[in-house]
Every structure is written in structure tokens, then in C-alpha cells.
């Protein structure tokens, strides 16, 4: 699973977490039912937001069913979105088309194993199949897939052009996500929401682009690869300011939407997006690993405000620290053996609560 929205049971408590898992599992099973087992590889948290928004506006457009046991649910059954629902199919189409574009981008950059011609050719063929499958599904529910494919092509052209500002670089992502979010209003027969949902999608697309750029910054700097922040000479502090503005705008726009079931959509696109911004920027801007897990220590020490390369250091918050090196913390009880978390405020812990329910902190 990937994406910037990563709810945990502590932040998204009560029935909302079950509803969220119904959307995520529903997306996975829709991909399987409509496009085959391999398509499930593109399941992602952010894609599931499309079906969440559709259900929030018109619950009848998001039918549910009981899914059988799954290893990722510890062999439990679950109430999930049915693959016949228009929201689930839109989420599947968007996920497939964007994943195809991402693969082509990695192939073009010869990233990692894709520098090998045989693997690059296989990945390219997979991208073609996924884009064709996503295009068919999008057309079946009245969504114009060229809104996404054109944005992907324009993004690649902008990266080659250079000399642009940050707003120009993030525009294709904003446009693509805005189009997908806006189409949920069409599916739900709520045309009055379309303009606001376009703006919600644009803000979310900007956030996703910037967060991805910040997370990739050390690796891109070391490899000499393209990164939006490096290309536009944008500091991490400035990117954080842009993200905070987008979060504030998201909350205002969500409050104005005409939603029949607003709770989950507002929790995900409001609280969870804000948590994603904190998770990404706080360790860097503070120059400390406090409150973060599985991330190397970064500091703003260079003249241009970009985090420098920094060697790994053993410590209580370092991903390579041995289990025995982790000091006990008052109030922290472990349900099972897990060394990813040792913070007092687990709700701000970026990964451990998202990956498992290893935390049982008092006050969470």
C-alpha cells in the first residue's frame, strides 16, 4: 500500500476505521474482479479517496458486500465496497492510469532495477496493459481518461523543460486529481459539488506532489535525479508553508460540500492529510528524529535550506537500531513484538500505527 493518507486505529477510531478499510479492501477486490490478480498491485490509499467521496455524497452509489478471509486482514472477513459500484470502479481506473504513468516515469529515468533493458521492457508492457484497462473502466463510467493521461504527459514535458516555478511544476498533478475528485459529483448526481471538489482535488494533488518530493529529496540529491524542490530552488520550509496553506484550504472547502455522510471524508482529507504533513516535515524542520520512526535524522544545515546527506546513526529512533537499544518509555505497552515505535505520542508516529496495531499508549 502507498499514498500520503495512512489512517491508524488510534486516530481514526470507532466505526470510521472499519468504513475506511471497506473502501481500501473494496478497491483491491475491484481491481482483482475487473482486471485480474496482478492489478491489485496498484492498490493505494489515496486512490481509495475517490470512492470515499462518492459514498459521502450518495451512499447508494457505493454498495457493499461481505468479503471472504484475507491474509492482509489476518484471515478475517470484512464488509467492503462491491466492485459493481461506480465509486469503486472510478478509484480502480484512476489507480491503474496513474500507476502506469508512474512506471513509465521510472523506466524513462532508469531507476534501480529498471536500468536493465529486459526489466524495463517488461515494466513498459505492464504499464501499457494497466493504462488500457484503466481507460476502458473510466470510459464505462463516463470519466474522460485523457484528463489523466494528458496531465502525465505534460508533467514529463515540464520536468524536461526546466526554469519553472513550483506552482507550474505541480499543476499537472493538481489538474489530474481535481478531475478525478470532480467526477465523483457526477457519479453521485451532485453537480453543485463539482467546482468545490475540483478545488479539493487540486489542493490534495499539490500536497501529494510536495510530500513525495520532500520524501525523495535525499535520494534524488545523491543520485542527481530530478526533484521538484531542487529544480525550482524551493526550500523545505517553503514547501511546508505551501502544504499548510493547502491543508487549511482543504478544511474550508470540505465544510462547504453538500455531503450526506461527511464524517469519513472530512477525517481523511482534513485530519489525516494534516497528519501526513506533520509526519513528513516535522522531523526535518526540527532537525531531530523526535516523534518519527523508520526515518533517518535530517537537518536543515545547507545555505539553500535543503537537508544535506547525513550518515545513519544508531539511536532509539533509528531504523537500524537493535531491539535491545530501545529504552523503555512510561505508559507504552506492546501487544506484540515490534521495534518500530518508541514514542510517547503514538498518534504522531508516522509508520508503526499505520502498519500494525503494535502501539497501545495511554491517551491514544
Tell me the pLDDT tens digit for each residue of 171-187.
999 999 999 999 999 99
Tell me the pLDDT tens digit for each residue of 332-344.
333 333 333 333 3
Residue 140: band (very low, low, confident or very high) from pLDDT cuts 50, 70, 90: very high
CA nearest to 197, candidates 102, 269, 303: 269
Cell for 339? Answer: 521495534
**Residue tagged 505508559 (cell numbers):** 331
- Checking if the pLDDT of 71 tops 90, the result is no
Give helix 86-109 / helix 146-161 axis angle, nearest 10°.
30
- Give the dihedral sign, CA 140/51/18/294: positive
Least confident residue range of 127-136, 146-155, 265-274, 294-303: 294-303
* Distance from C-alpha of 76 to C-alpha of 72, rounded to nearest angstrom: 9
Q: What is the pLDDT of residue 324?
A: 37
Least confident residue range of 108-117, 134-143, 167-176: 108-117
Tell me the pLDDT tens digit for each residue of 240-297.
999 999 999 999 999 999 999 999 999 999 999 999 999 999 888 776 444 434 433 3
Cell for 274? Answer: 494534516
Q: What is the mean pLDDT of the chain?
A: 80
Q: How many residues does the chain have?
A: 364
* Distance from C-alpha of 99 to C-alpha of 84, rounded to nearest angstrom: 22
Which parts of the chain fold into alpha helices (H)? 15-35, 48-57, 86-109, 117-140, 146-161, 166-187, 194-223, 228-231, 236-256, 263-266, 273-285, 352-355
Domains and CATH numbers, the chain: 15-285 (1.10.600.10), 291-364 (no CATH)
Give helix 48-57 / helix 166-187 axis angle, nearest 10°.
40
281 to each of 92, 215, 240, 295, 350, how far by Cα in Å? 30, 9, 7, 12, 11
Tell me the pLDDT tens digit for each residue of 230-249.
999 999 999 999 999 999 99
Amino acid at each position: 500500500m502507498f499514498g500520503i493518507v495512512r489512517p491508524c486505529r488510534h486516530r481514526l477510531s470507532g466505526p470510521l476505521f472499519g468504513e475506511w478499510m471497506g473502501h481500501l479492501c473494496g478497491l483491491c477486490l475491484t481491481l482483482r474482479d475487473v482486471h485480474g490478480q496482478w492489478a491489485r498491485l496498484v492498490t493505494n490509499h489515496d486512490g481509495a479517496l475517490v470512492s470515499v467521496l462518492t459514498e459521502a455524497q450518495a451512499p447508494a452509489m457505493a454498495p457493499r458486500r461481505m468479503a471472504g478471509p484475507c491474509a492482509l486482514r489476518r484471515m478475517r472477513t470484512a464488509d467492503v465496497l462491491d466492485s459493481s459500484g461506480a465509486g469503486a470502479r472510478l478509484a480502480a481506473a484512476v489507480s491503474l492510469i496513474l500507476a502506469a504513468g508512474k512506471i513509465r516515469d521510472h523506466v524513462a529515468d532508469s531507476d534501480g532495477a529498471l536500468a536493465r533493458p529486459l526489466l524495463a521492457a517488461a515494466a513498459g508492457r505492464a504499464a501499457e496493459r494497466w493504462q488500457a484497462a484503466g481507460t476502458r473502466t473510466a470510459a464505462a463510467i463516463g470519466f474522460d481518461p485523457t484528463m489523466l493521461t494528458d496531465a502525465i504527459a505534460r508533467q514529463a514535458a515540464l520536468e524536461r523543460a526546466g526554469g519553472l516555478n513550483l506552482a507550474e511544476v505541480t499543476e499537472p498533478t493538481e489538474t489530474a486529481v481535481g478531475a478525478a475528485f470532480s467526477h465523483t459529483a457526477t457519479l453521485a448526481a451532485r453537480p453543485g459539488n463539482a467546482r468545490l471538489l475540483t478545488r479539493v482535488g487540486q489542493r490534495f494533488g499539490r500536497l501529494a506532489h510536495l510530500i513525495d518530493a520532500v520524501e525523495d529529496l535525499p535520494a534524488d540529491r545523491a543520485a542527481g535525479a530530478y526533484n521538484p524542490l531542487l529544480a525550482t530552488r524551493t526550500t523545505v520550509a517553503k514547501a511546508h508553508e505551501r502544504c499548510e496553506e493547502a491543508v487549511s484550504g482543504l478544511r474550508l472547502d470540505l465544510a462547504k460540500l453538500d455531503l450526506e455522510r461527511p464524517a469519513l471524508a472530512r477525517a481523511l482529507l482534513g485530519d489525516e492529510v494534516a497528519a501526513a504533513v506533520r509526519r513528513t516535515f516535522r522531523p526535518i524542520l526540527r532537525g531531530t528524529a523526535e516523534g518519527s520512526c523508520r526515518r533517518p535524522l535530517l537537518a536543515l544545515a545547507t545555505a539553500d535550506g535543503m537537508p544535506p546527506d547525513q550518515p545513519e546513526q544508531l539511536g532509539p529512533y533509528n531504523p537500524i537500531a537493535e531491539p535491545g537499544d530501545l529504552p523503555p518509555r512510561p505508559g507504552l505497552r506492546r501487544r506484540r513484538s515490534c521495534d518500530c515505535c518508541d514514542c510517547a505520542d503514538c498518534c504522531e508516529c508516522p509508520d508503526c500505527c499505520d502498519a500494525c496495531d503494535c502501539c497501545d499508549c495511554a491517551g491514544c
